[in-house]
Structure formats: structure tokens, C-alpha cells
Amino acid sequence: MLKKILKYTIVLALLSYAVFAFIVIPMMENRNMCKGVLVYIEGNELEAISRESILGILESEGLDPMEKCMDSIVCSKIERRLAEISIIRECQVYLSTRGYVNIDITCRQPAIRVVEQGGRTYCIDCEGDVIEDIRKALYLPVVTGCVGDSMARNELKEIANAIHGNRFWTAQIEQIHFGSNSEVIIIPRVGDHIIELGKAEDIEEKLRKLYTFYHKGMNTIGWNKYSKLNIEFNEKVICTKRQ
């Protein structure tokens, strides 16, 4: 009788282990697998980056957390990789208790697009940071001529701050050209004239003066009467009539 009880006990133990090994353990493992990646992007009004592009980068570099054990996911690795993308100003990656990987991104705000004489193209934000990895076409004022990213923290930053957030100038300024003598010319979208800015300094004040002239003068006399407007000097707009 004792042998039968021992035999049944062993069989029951083996059956219990089999159930645990083949059913319970896989269920526990699946419960600890990454169920998805939630990407939150702040400050992306220009849609310069997308959730799909972020996930594509992670997948191409073996950092995709999908179907990986949550315990094996190293958030700092993902953060370091995404921090290399210049459009991203801040990035935080963390795991949720529900089995999701959360990626919170704050974007830099491109204010102007720069096209160097050699063909290199990038954007500048209001901090003077260079943003090079934007593949999407952005409708921003374009800076051309004798420019380089060595000017990013000075002249280009001042231009970016004067234009960014101002709907009128973002829409009105098509091109900003630096001559070899560092004199700046603005080509507007509306009006058949050019604007001589002088040096790239006191830009916000110069544009304020020009806006007043546009509002009080050009709306009355017409936008095509002058071929050139010079706003280099204080409190003056020097106009050259069209021949």
C-alpha cells in the first residue's frame, strides 16, 4: 500500500512539473515580454521626425525592444542612440509596469534652413544648434551665400530668433543672402523688391522698422513701386524707385 502511494505521489509530482514547465513557465515568460513601444513626441509641429522613423532606427541597429524580455531592455542604450539625432533635444526612455517601453522625446525647433555654397544643407534653431538629419521638406526661410555653421551661434542664431514664432516674417521671407562682405540681403515672397539689411546685427529692430513701413507705406503706395529697400540705418527706410 505504501509503495502504491509513493508511486502515485511521484507520478503526480512529474505531472505537476510537466504542467509547470510547459504551460506555466511560458505564460510567465510571455507576461514579461515587451508588448509594445509608445513614442511621445513634443514640439514636432513641423513633423520633422515621426514615430515610424524612430522605430526604424531602433530596428536597424538591433535596439528594437519588441518581443524582448523586459528585464533585458537597457533604456540608457536607447536614450544614447536617440540623443545622437540632432533634431532631438531631450529623450527619456523608461519601462511601464504593463509591459510597454515608453519613449518621450522633445524636439528642437528649426527656425531657418541653411544652404552652404558647397551644397551642405541643415537647419538652425533659436539656440544656434545645428540640425542636420531632417529629410522632410520644411518651408522655412532659406539662408544662402557666404555662410557656415561657425556662424550658427552668432549671426544665424540672431536671424533665427528674429524670425521664429513670427508668422508674418516666416511667411514673407523667402531667402536671406550673405554677401562676401557679410552684408545681408533679404528676398521677400510678396513684393518685387530686395531688402538691404546691412550687417547681421539688430535684426529684430530692423525687421520691426520694416514691418511698420510695410503696414503704413507699402499698403498705400503698392508693393512693386520700389526695387530696393535699405533698412540698415536707424529709424530710416531708404527706398529706391523702380526704373
Residue 103 and residue 171 share a domain: no
201 shares a domain with 93: no
Task: Provide the 10 A C-beta neighbour count for residue 192.
Answer: 11
- Choosing from 107, 134, 160, the residue where a domain stops is 107
Which SS3 state, helix, strand or coil, does residue 212 take?
helix
Residues 221 and 177 both lie in one domain: yes
Residues 166 and 234 in one domain: yes
Output the tens digit of pLDDT for each of the chain's 243 residues.
555 555 556 545 555 544 444 544 444 445 589 999 999 999 888 888 899 999 999 999 999 999 899 999 999 999 999 999 999 999 999 999 889 999 999 999 999 999 999 989 999 999 999 998 777 777 899 999 999 888 988 999 999 999 998 999 999 999 999 999 989 999 999 888 999 999 999 999 999 999 999 888 777 777 788 899 999 987 789 889 887
Do residues 121 and 182 share a domain? Answer: yes
Tell me, what CATH number does 128's domain have?
3.40.50.11690
How many domains is the chain built from? 2
**Based on the domain organization, do 128 and 78 belong to the same domain?**
no
* Cβ-based neighbours of 139, under 8 Å, separated by 6 or more: none
Q: Which amino acid is at 226?
A: Y
Does residue 150 share a domain with residue 186?
Answer: yes
CA–CA distances in Å: residue 190 to residues 159, 162, 230, 232, 241: 19, 19, 16, 20, 17
- Has residue 140 been placed in a domain? yes
Q: How many residues does the chain have?
A: 243
Domain-located, residue 220: yes
CA angle (158, 164, 165) in 5-degree steps: 140
Final residue of a structural domain among 107, 141, 163: 107
Domain that holds residue 134: 112-241
DSSP secondary structure string for all residues of 117-143: TTS-EEEE-TT--EE----S-----EE
Cα–Cα distances in Å, from 165 out to 18, 47, 107, 161?
A: 66, 16, 15, 8
- CA atoms lying within 13 Å on the CB side of residue 76: 0
**135/82 same-domain check:** no
Q: Grid coordinates in use for 225?
A: 513701386
Q: Is residue 29 part of a domain?
A: no
Q: What is the CATH number of the domain that holds 48?
A: 3.10.20
Residues 128, 234, single domain; the answer is yes
Q: Which residue has the cell 505537476?
A: 16
